């Protein structure tokens, strides 16, 4: 089945810089890939969905890329703010497309 | 208005007890899910229902029994609770079962003493 790898080490950046988070997957390329944000004690919140025929998707300060050759998605937050501090989860369809599987997430800390 | 609400938020109980977690969504979605998030933060699918019909049933002990009385509700009953059941359980919903974005509740933290 599909396996997702996200950097387990926390990412610390300065306010105003661009945060870049990585999601790698191991098997077949999914038809879509999603990114979620999770705050402590809360459920994940959907942010963006990108399809296999889309190279890039933007929403306000967020940008997601999807490289099916590298089997990788990059998630960028430009002009980062302390309020962006959270855990960011990558999710994609499992083999067979019947369910969505989630990565363990990368914790982002933005310092003022 | 809370889109996906689950109760209780915290559940502390002893090994061997039976407990239930309730979930309701007011988004008009057809599909609902139960996930388990363990201490390592992995979010693992347990069950999924589409229009009250079970469509995903992962390798979950049969002590866990989901019930969907209508498409807006998906409850989870757990019999004979074990220490390893301690985790955060999340309910979620999506428009349909075709890999749509999911809306999550805020979780139920289950602690087994």
Residues of A in contact with B48 (CB under 8 A): 99
Q: What is the pLDDT of residue B1?
A: 66
pLDDT at res. A43: 96
The 10 Å Cβ neighbour count of residue B29 is 22
B38, closest residue in chain A (CA to CA): A104
Q: Which two tokens stand for residue A43?
A: 């459920």
Min Cα separation A17/chain B (Å): 27
- DSSP, collapsed to helix, strand or coil, labels residue B83 as helix
For residue B107, what pLDDT is reported? 97
* pLDDT in 10s for each residue of chain B, 113 residues: 679 999 999 999 999 999 999 999 999 999 999 999 998 888 999 999 999 899 888 878 999 999 999 999 999 999 999 999 999 999 999 998 877 899 999 999 999 99
Q: Are B89 and B81 in contact (CB under 8 A)?
A: no
- Tens of pLDDT, residue by residue over A50-73, are 998 898 999 999 999 999 899 999
> What band does A25 get if pLDDT is binned at 50, 70 and 90?
very high
Residues of A in contact with B101 (CB under 8 A): 34, 46, 49
Beta pairing class for B10-13 and A45-51: unpaired
Window 2-41 of B: residues touching A by CB (8 A cutoff) are 4, 40-41
Residue numbers in A near B23 (CB within 8 A) = none
The beta-carbon neighbor of B42 closest among A93, A97, A104 is: A104
pLDDT at residue A27, as a whole number: 78
**A42 vs B contacts (CB less than 8 Å):** 106-107
């Amino acid at each position: 089945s599909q396996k997702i790898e996200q950097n387990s080490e926390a990412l610390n950046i300065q306010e105003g810089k661009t945060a870049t988070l990585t999601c790698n997957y191991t098997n077949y390329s999914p038809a879509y890939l999603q990114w979620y944000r999770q705050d402590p004690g809360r459920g994940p919140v959907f942010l963006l969905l990108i399809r296999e025929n889309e190279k890039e998707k933007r929403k306000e300060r967020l940008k997601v890329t999807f490289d099916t050759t590298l089997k990788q998605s990059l998630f960028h937050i430009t002009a980062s703010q302390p309020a962006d501090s959270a855990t960011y989860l990558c999710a994609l369809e499992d083999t067979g497309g019947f369910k969505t599987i989630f990565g363990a997430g990368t914790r982002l800390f933005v310092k003022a | 208005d809370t889109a996906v609400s689950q109760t209780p938020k915290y559940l502390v109980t002893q090994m061997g007890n039976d407990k239930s977690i309730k979930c309701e969504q007011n988004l008009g979605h057809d599909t609902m899910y139960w996930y388990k998030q363990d201490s390592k933060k992995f979010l693992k699918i347990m069950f999924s229902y589409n229009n009250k019909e079970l469509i995903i049933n992962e390798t979950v002990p049969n002590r866990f029994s989901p019930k969907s009385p209508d498409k807006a509700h998906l409850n989870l009953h757990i019999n004979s609770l074990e220490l390893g059941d301690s985790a955060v359980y999340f309910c979620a919903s999506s428009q349909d079962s075709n890999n749509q974005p999911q809306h999550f509740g805020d979780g139920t933290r289950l602690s087994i003493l």
